[in-house]
Structure 1
Amino acid sequence: MTPTRLDPEVCYRAVSSRDRRFDGMFYTAVRTTGIYCRPSCPARTPAARNVEFHPTAAAAQAAGFRACKRCLPDATPGSPEWDVAADVAGRAMRLISDGVVDRDGVDGLAARVGYTPRHLGRLLTAELGAGPLALARARRAQTARVLIETTDLQFAEIAFAAGFASIRQFNETIREVYALSPTELRGRRGGLPSTGTVSMRLAVRTPYAGRDLLAFLALRAVPGVETAGDGWYARTLGLPHGTGTVRLEIDDHDRAGETAFVTATFALDDLRDTAAGVERVRRLLDADCDPVAVDQVLGADPLLAPVVAARPGLRVPGHVDGNEIAVRAVLGQQVTVGAARTIAARLTAELGKPVARPDGGLTHLFPDVATLASLDPEDLPMPRSRGRALVALCRALAEGDVVLDRGAGRDETRQALLAIPGIGPWTADYIALRALGDPDVFLPADIGTRDALVALGRDPSTAAGLAEAWRPWRSYAQVHLWRTLSPSLTTSTQEK
């Protein structure tokens, strides 16, 4: 079952069983009440003849349905299909979630995916049941509802933080989607003037191996850009309208099939960056993954079965900035994780932009690619060949020849990366795994992969063949193999 081809019988069985694993994958609209719900809604299951199914909340809203007040259907993790799908609809959904339509309009979105606005509108309507404006509107409404119910921001601040062009548009949309005014959604709590700090809960599917993700990030934290401690991780953010920081409270959540939450506290220069900040942090957390589906496939493999059973819900660590992770991948070629971190910290101290609101150890953004592209490779603290590769990569990123975000075409991006002198398959695939969110990347020549297979009693030369059974979740198999080397996910001599 895919977002574009929902099987009514399968959907109805999921609704009848109130299976939480399907929350966010499709929406149930009840014709007799005019309401749409998440599949796990605790209300009485409607008769099959009275329901229809939609791949997105926007499609249900476009069909004239309003959100259920009991199950809050848009307060779910996003569909994992958008990370699996590398097609135009999946790429467009990821860009819409990042706020591209709010910032650049439909024309800007269409240019990013390589289609005319009219053709993109037809394609998204056919695939997702709604066009780009409706999809963006649904995202704004969901962001606004979260801010209304979980923060003390004033409504005017919420309207612009969620991406609305005016307070009137904000009020009308909230009333139409939720059949409640913003005041009624908030209840008796009054709003307070913003200090630029927004705290909210980000939904993740369970099981969620949050502590392993935290260990991975903490081991690689670049001083000035990132800090971490027991149960938390924080970093600086470069966002469309300014800088910011985010602190995440990350823990394990073991009960499968439920929705858990990661608390995120943002300190932003401009509240209009709220939606973009949330989406980028969700990528970092791999929040939209369906861990049950992943573990079913990997757990059926004799080699990985005990590994997966030992750590269900293991996530692929994402990133908030594709350019940053690409630079760090090159810095980590053929050196230890600690050495790569030291080089990154030195470049940050010398070339990183200070954030407007430093917070403890969070003082700078990672150096931007335009600055790095202007450097002389001879002056970089690394072998000359790697310095030349780094400068060439940054030049390609700065000039737009390579784009590293969730809207990029994966195959085309990989070929563009491999065309840069000094960028080989390991670097290109590692970037795809962490920056593009590709769930099906495997690194057979990686030292960590080889060491893990040896420890599991397998010949490393057979790695590529073994991994065929792990499709389409080879990225998760890769992280499981890395984790077998140590509890903290220390892997090899390259920057994982």
Structure 2
Amino acid sequence: MYTDTEACVRAVSSRDARFDGWFYTAVRTTGIYCRPSCPATTPKPRNMTFYPSAAAAQAGGFRACKRCRPDTSPGSPEWNSRADLVARAMRLIADGVIDREGVAGLARRLGYSVRQIERQVRSELGAGPLSLARAQRAQTARVLVETSDLPMADIAFAAGFGSIRAFNGTVREVFAATPREMRSRASAPERGERAEASTGTWHQMRLRLPFRRPLLPDNLFGHLAATAVPGVEEWRDGAYRRTMLLPHGPAVVALRPEPDHVAAQMWLSDLRDLPVATSRCRWMLDLDADPVAIDAALAADRRLARLVRAAPGRRVPRSADADEMAVRIVLGQQISTKAARTHAGRLVKRYGQRLPEPVGGLTHLFPTAARLRRTSAEHLAMPASRHRTVVGLATALAEGQIDLTPGADWASTRADLIALPGIGPWSVESIAMRALGDPDAFPTSDLGIRAGAARIGIPDHLATIQSESARWRPWRAYAAQHLWATTDHEINRLPKEQ
């Protein structure tokens, strides 16, 4: 969008928050870049330059606005809705691959040369992968400086900088202030969200996760709570909580919906995992979606329009662990939500890794694919055929035959999944929706979708539902949420406090 100067100027002039994260406005007379909704005085159009990423604005010599904080904008919705090379690269960068494996590792995961990746990413984002990762590190550093009492050396290490000098230089360049100056002038709300004192096991952090309005929490948090696996997930004190296995160790997150943000509390065993934990929470809650655009597209079908008007801002609940979600979907084939939770709970109790220190009712990590491939049928009360399917899937995941990472090619992964014995179209589309995040995934044969389709006047015939759903492309995963919501099921509502 940043190449459409007239549209960008209109968005900035109207301070339209819907475009935050789509592009960044740099003002040549001040040397500052802002989000479109910045409340400061609107600059003259001739002084504006538009960039597709914060990293590109930084590379152009501009520093972040201290008032609107463009680095805290929701991410561009494009990267989670597209399946091309640049979008796959951006999802991997957000997941911290460059910090862990470098640009060579990013290229290797995507199956392209470093030069090809550099050229395509720079062409669309205005900056290369290293610059994008650097901008991400700067954002992590700002969060830690302003919301924690950690020593600056620890922050530099946690944010992924190789030295204190690099940390200080980047912060000054991006934010036009030293780290200590940023900490001293942190606003009152931020000071109130300082991290709690770290224990021997956990570093505790609190932060806000922004999103584009509207956001309907009912099915988003309701689905996660209704399908929660005992020991791994729970609903407590108005928040969805779960364990995660991150690159440097275990973690626990608690996510509570608020009117203008999601409040996140994190228990990290290693502070270096903060950016990855944040990225995975945003992904799980679909916080970078553009709900206005999605709702408008779905409401163009008069049969869906009533549902969309009644509940704008539905998101697609995903998983913070794609391998885990794939296994759980296979476990849930042709059984109830409650039965699926029971089966998953048995797997966790016998094969899951215990947390070093429990947090509330959370005690385990979901077992990895490498452990699940060694499960024994005698310990699990499920049909032998389903056990074989679970073991086959776990083996394929552990050996890298199935790619469910953020950089996966959705079409190739679908083909690889359907080739596994015991996995059919319903499972493939459910995995594509909740593990891969494909916005067009649509499990046509799902009973809830069939019931919802019938309620809006679509005959209950699979071929007819499949044909009619073409009108909702490329947002059929969101249409599925509206169809499911026509049924009286606990996944569609926030749980009551116990």
Whether TM exceeds 0.5 here: the answer is: yes
Question: Given that residues 233 and 250 in structure 1 are in contact (C-alpha distance below 8 angstroms), is that contact kept between their aligned partners in structure 2?
Answer: no
Q: Show the counterpart of 2:318.
A: 318
1:169-208 mapped onto 2 (5 Å cutoff): 169-187=166-184, 194-195=198-199, 196-208=203-215
Q: How many residues are paired up?
A: 481
Code of the residue aligned with 1:278 in structure 2: it is T
1:288 and 2:295 aligned: no
Tell me how far 1:41 sits from its aligned partner. 1.0
Aligned to 2:139: 142
Following superposition, the deviation at residue 10 of structure 1 comes to 1.2
Secondary structure of 1:439's aligned partner: coil
What's the counterpart of residue 431 of structure 2? Answer: 431
Structure 2 partner of 1:38: 35
Give the CA deviation at 1:360.
Answer: 2.0
Partner residue in 2 for 1:218: 225
> In 1, distance between residues paired with 2:107 and 2:407?
11
Match of 1:26 in 2: 23
Give the match for residue 73 of structure 1.
70
Task: Give the deviation of 1:168 after TM superposition.
Answer: 1.7
Q: How far 1:62 moved relative to its partner?
A: 1.0
Hey, what does 1:109 align to over in structure 2?
Answer: 106
**Other-structure match for 2:307:** 307
CA RMSD of aligned residues (A): 1.7
**Aligned partner letter, 1:342:** T
Tell me, in whole angstroms, the C-alpha distance in 2 between the residues paired with 1:239 and 1:212.
Answer: 26
1:311 positional shift = 1.0
Partner of 2:483: 481
1:12-411 equivalences in 2 (<5 Å): 12-187=9-184, 194-195=198-199, 196-229=203-236, 231-251=238-258, 253=259, 260-377=260-377, 380-411=380-411
Could you tell me how far apart the structure 2 residues matched to 1:289 and 1:82 are?
10
- Partner deviation per Cα, 1:138-187 (whole Å, 9 max, x = no partner): 01111111222223332222222222222221111100001111111111
Contact 2:145-2:182 at 8 Å conserved across structures? yes
- Name the counterpart of 2:496: none
Which amino acid letter does the alignment assign opposite residue 172 of structure 2?
R
Q: Which moved more, 1:230-239 or 1:131-140?
A: 230-239
SS in 2 for 1:204: coil
Deviation (angstroms), 1:122: 1.4
How does the TM-score come out when normalised to structure 1?
0.94
**Distance in 2 between the 1:309 and 1:138 partners?**
38
CA distance in 2: counterparts of 1:456 and 1:6, whole angstroms: 40
Residue 470 (structure 2) aligned to one of 468, 471, 487: 468
Letter in 1 for 2:394: C
* Structure-2 separation of matches of 1:387 and 1:436: 23
**Aligned equivalents of 1:345, 1:487: Cα separation in 2:** 21
Question: Is the 2:79–2:88 Cα contact (8 Å) retained in structure 1?
Answer: yes
Deviations 1:435-462 (A, max 9, x none): 1111111121111111112233320222
- Residues 71 and 344 (structure 1), Cα distance of their counterparts in 2 relative to 1, 3 Å cut: same
**Amino acid corresponding to residue 490 of structure 2 in structure 1:** S
**Structure 1 residue 482 displacement after superposition:** 0.7
Bigger drift between 103-112 and 194-203 goes to 194-203
- TM-score, with structure 2 as normaliser: 0.93
1:234–1:247 contact (8 Å) kept in structure 2: yes
Determine the C-alpha separation between the residues in 2 that align with 1:376 and 1:350: 10
Task: Using the TM superposition, name which of 348-357 and 146-155 deviates more.
Answer: 146-155
> Structure 2: which amino acid aligns with 1:482?
W
Structure 1: runs of 5+ lacking an equivalent: 254-259, 492-496
Give yes or no for contact 2:304–2:456 (8 Å, CA) kept in 1. Answer: no
Q: Distance in 2 between matches of 1:373 and 1:94?
A: 28
* 1:457 lines up with 2:457 in the alignment: yes
Q: Which amino acid aligns with 2:479?
A: A
Cα deviation, 1:328-382, whole Å, max 9, x if unaligned, reads 0000001000000001001100000011121121000011101111234565421
Query: Equivalents in 1 of 2:220, 2:297: separation in Å?
Result: 21
Q: Secondary structure at the match of 1:435?
A: helix
Q: Secondary structure at the match of 1:40?
A: coil
Q: Is the 8 A contact 2:222 2:492 kept in 1?
A: no
Distance in 1 (CA, whole Å) between partners of 2:275 and 2:116 is 26
Q: Counterparts of 1:187 and 1:274 in 2: how far apart (Å)?
A: 22
Counterpart secondary structure, 1:153 = coil
SS of alignment partner, residue 460 of structure 1: coil
- Assess if the C-alpha contact under 8 Å between 1:163 and 1:275 holds in 2: no
Residue range with higher mean Cα deviation, 429-438 or 463-472:
463-472
Q: Aligned equivalents of 2:215 and 2:444: distance in 1?
A: 26
Q: What SS does the aligned partner of 1:438 have?
A: coil
Decide whether the 8 Å contact of 1:86 with 1:409 is kept in 2: yes
**Alpha-carbon distance between aligned partners in 1 of 2:447 and 2:149, rounded to the nearest angstrom:** 49
Q: Distance in 2 between matches of 1:479 and 1:230?
A: 25
Question: What code does the residue aligned with 1:232 have?
Answer: A
Q: Is the 8 A contact 2:429 2:441 kept in 1?
A: yes
Counterpart position of 1:256: none
Q: Which amino acid aligns with 2:389?
A: A
Contact 1:151 1:200 in 2 (8 A): no
State the distance in 1 between where 2:217 and 2:15 align. Answer: 25
- Rounded Cα–Cα distance in structure 1 between residues aligned with 2:485 and 2:160: 39
**Aligned with 2:76: secondary structure?**
coil
Equivalent residue letter for 1:364: H
In structure 2, runs of 5+ residues without a counterpart are 494-498
